[in-house]
Structure 1
Amino acid sequence: MRSVDAEPYMPPFERQFTGPQGNQFAYQYSRCNGKKKALCIGINYRGQQAELKGCINDALNVKRFLCTTYGYKEEDIVMLTDDMKNPRQTPTHRNMIDAMHWLVRDAKPNDSLFFHFSGHGGQTKDYDGDEEDGYDEVIYPVDYKTNGHIVDDLMHDIMVKPLPTGCRLTAIFDCCHSGSALDLPYMYSTEGKIKEPNIAAEIGQGLLGMASSYAKKDMGGLIKGGLGILKVASGGAQKAEEYTRRTKTSPADVISWSGCKDSQTSADTVEGGQAAGAMSHAFITVLSRNKNLSYQQLLNSIRDVLRSKYSQKPQLAASHPIVCRNACGPFDCS
């Protein structure tokens, strides 16, 4: 392992290949010396029953961090928060979808795009077979009660599929049930290894969830846990993984950071006297100390910051295998 104080290691910029011989996918790292654009969404759901406190602060803090640390320009950052007076800047379902399209519009190789969401997240039944647990991840716009949630499949279709070879997209999801919120096919462990389906562990977690749901008289949780166990036991987890890698590996350079596993919740808390999302705060804190961390070092450092106070375990996912374990920082390879 390299020292965290070492200079960032440059990833290989030539085209890389993954997959079995005869059916390989090509992808390429971004030099991140092109256009920089960002979309920051923070939703407190003000006046609603499930109101949060720190999400607007998260969006503002991330915007400031991008400008001061990584050279993003304010005019190239779209902000959607539910304290905005301009109706086009409120995080409605329509505005969020439009802003996602704006983020990736006219994307070029070596561009560096950034997406941040802080708000409510959840799950819904998976219908296309790409989820190991049988459930898609979703995020909730401010008007979700009337216009519904936004599913991970749609976010992948809008923000990942159109990207050209060698374009970087970094995404942060600071919300509950967000581990695979962008549907990227390669999930990484803290050891820098690609995670594979763990059948015994998933069945055990399903049984534990069913027991907890039974104790709370939560029939929905009992049914969901039973369906998850059935899918794992029948080999659905491996099929879902194979399907995702076949259909959602990208020629672009996409990295996603999530506040927790798909099965966990993310904390809306207070840090330094200010309401904030635990994941957003930890991400900024770690990179403000040292922007030259590798992906593996960054994942471990974020978990270290959160471990003493929270049970959530942040996740790292990618659109391709990370062939360079000591890849450069998340936004700047130049």
Structure 2
Amino acid sequence: MFNAAASPSSSTGTGWCSGAPAAAWGYYNPPPPPPPPPFQPSRPSVPKPLMPPSAYGRKRALLCGVSYHGRSYNLNGTVNDVNCMKYFLVDRRGFPADSILMLTEYEADPYRIPTKQNIRMALQWLVQGCRSGDSLVFHFSGHGSTQPDYNMDEIDGSDETLCPVDFETQGMILDDEINATIVRPLPHGAKLHAIIDACHSGTVLDLPFLCRMNREGYYVWEDHGRFSSVYKGTSGGLAVSISACDDHQTSSDTTAFSGDTSTGALTYSFIQAVENDRGLTYGNLLNAMRQIIREARSGIRLKGPIAAFVNKVFGTEFPQEPQLTSSEKFDIYSKQFVL
């Protein structure tokens, strides 16, 4: 997780920006809805792969964990993150196991390696045939970055990006493309939750409304959509992004939560917060996640069902504050968080 326009972070701890090379830049010209047709397979010479789960049912999830294995900027906790998220969704939230598509570098099927092309196809799979009542989840754990905004739709002058395993040769995936692919097609009555454990990920879905805390200590919505000439909302559904940090911040890959297993600070704090309070609102969720990260920063060890799972399957600083963005405004103190 690093800034393409700046040198690697010099902060202490196990931040995911350490030692990252300059990123490949790209440009994305957002198409009008509906999303673009399916991309061609990234490896046409290999035999027909195992197909992802059929695009049906009321719950569906795409989990991407990118480790950048063998690189100087490799990450230790991303596969742990997606394994934890799959366990959480299936065992704790009733998602069918065959409705979850996982992309990691350790999959036997080459079409489930988190290349740029495969992630693009998987994002399209996530919203394929989506209808009212569906609940979709997109979880990404890996490097995030920024690059100059060429279509002038960003307040800070930078596009936020996700880095696939082959980003150095194929380029990064821009927030504009992510929005056009999984946000704009979302129909009335459907909902999407994105959990993005990456640096610079505050507005990586390019959603129009950003939740900020004002001087009085209350969360208020900032309208970022008015700065863009391109529609960034849905087709009637609700899209919510919970991300690791603000656009200018970095995030952490750490053992501070489980003692000896690397996990992303955002992924762990999200699961822990939901596990601890089944009836929590979005406001309570955001507060709980921030408190969990502050406690880990202070060296307080956390407990709970997911903590035991983390330890079974597999003194750090966290310069980050989880962020909440949405396709529409709502009262975060009364609206319940439901996957």
Instruction: Place the TM-score, normalised by the shorter chain, in its bin.
Output: 0.7 to 0.9
Distance of 1:311 and 1:143 partners within structure 2: 27
Residue of structure 2 in register with 1:328 after alignment? 336
* Cα pair 2:66 2:164 within 8 Å, conserved: yes
Residue of structure 2 in register with 1:195 after alignment? 222
Q: Which of 243, 256, 259 matches 2:227?
A: 243
Question: 1:9-24 alignment to 2 at 5 Å?
Answer: none
Residue of structure 2 in register with 1:145 after alignment? 168
Distance of 2:64 and 2:121 partners within structure 1: 12
Distance of 2:127 and 2:98 partners within structure 1: 16
Distance of 2:197 and 2:280 partners within structure 1: 20
Q: Compared with structure 1, are the counterparts of its residues 328 and 126 closer, same or farther at alpha carbon in structure 2 (3 Å cutoff)? A: same
Alignment TM-score, normalising by the size of structure 1:
0.74
Residues 1:184 and 2:207 are matched in the alignment? yes
State the Cα RMSD in Å. 1.5
Question: Per the alignment, in what secondary structure is the counterpart of residue 337 of structure 2?
Answer: coil
Measured after TM superposition, the shift of residue 330 of structure 1 is 3.4
Measured after TM superposition, the shift of residue 243 of structure 1 is 3.2
Q: Which of 278, 284, 290 matches 1:297?
A: 284
Write the letter of the residue equivalent to 1:319: S
Residue of structure 2 in register with 1:103 after alignment? 126
Q: Which of 66, 78, 101 matches 1:55?
A: 78
Give CA-to-partner distance per residue, 1:45-80, whole Å, 9 cap, x none: 110121110001001100110011110011000000
Identity over aligned pairs, percent: 38
Residue of structure 1 in register with 2:198 after alignment? 175
Write the letter of the residue equivalent to 1:93: K
Residue of structure 2 in register with 1:255 after alignment? 240
Residue of structure 2 in register with 1:69 after alignment? 92
Residues 1:318 and 2:326 are matched in the alignment? yes
Higher relative contact order (CA 8 A, sep 6+): 1
Write the letter of the residue equivalent to 2:163: Y
Distance of 1:62 and 1:324 partners within structure 2: 23
Measured after TM superposition, the shift of residue 246 of structure 1 is 6.8
* Cα pair 1:132 1:241 within 8 Å, conserved: no
Measured after TM superposition, the shift of residue 307 of structure 1 is 1.8
Runs of 4 or more off by more than 4 Å in structure 1? none
More off after superposition, 115-124 vs 81-90: 81-90
Q: Compared with structure 1, are the counterparts of its residues 254 and 275 closer, same or farther at alpha carbon in structure 2 (3 Å cutoff)? A: same
Distance of 1:102 and 1:94 partners within structure 2: 12
Residues 1:158 and 2:181 are matched in the alignment? yes
Distance of 2:337 and 2:199 partners within structure 1: 25
Question: Per the alignment, in what secondary structure is the counterpart of residue 226 of structure 2?
Answer: helix
Residue of structure 2 in register with 1:264 after alignment? 249
Alignment TM-score, normalising by the size of structure 2:
0.73
Give CA-to-partner distance per residue, 1:194-217, whole Å, 9 cap, x none: 136xxxxxxxxxxxxxxxxxxxxx
* Cα pair 1:185 1:245 within 8 Å, conserved: no
Write the letter of the residue equivalent to 1:61: C
Q: Compared with structure 1, are the counterparts of its residues 241 and 162 closer, same or farther at alpha carbon in structure 2 (3 Å cutoff)? A: closer
Question: Per the alignment, in what secondary structure is the counterpart of residue 81 of structure 2?
Answer: helix
Distance of 1:261 and 1:103 partners within structure 2: 25
Unaligned runs of 5+ in 2: 1-56, 298-317
Residue of structure 2 in register with 1:282 after alignment? 269
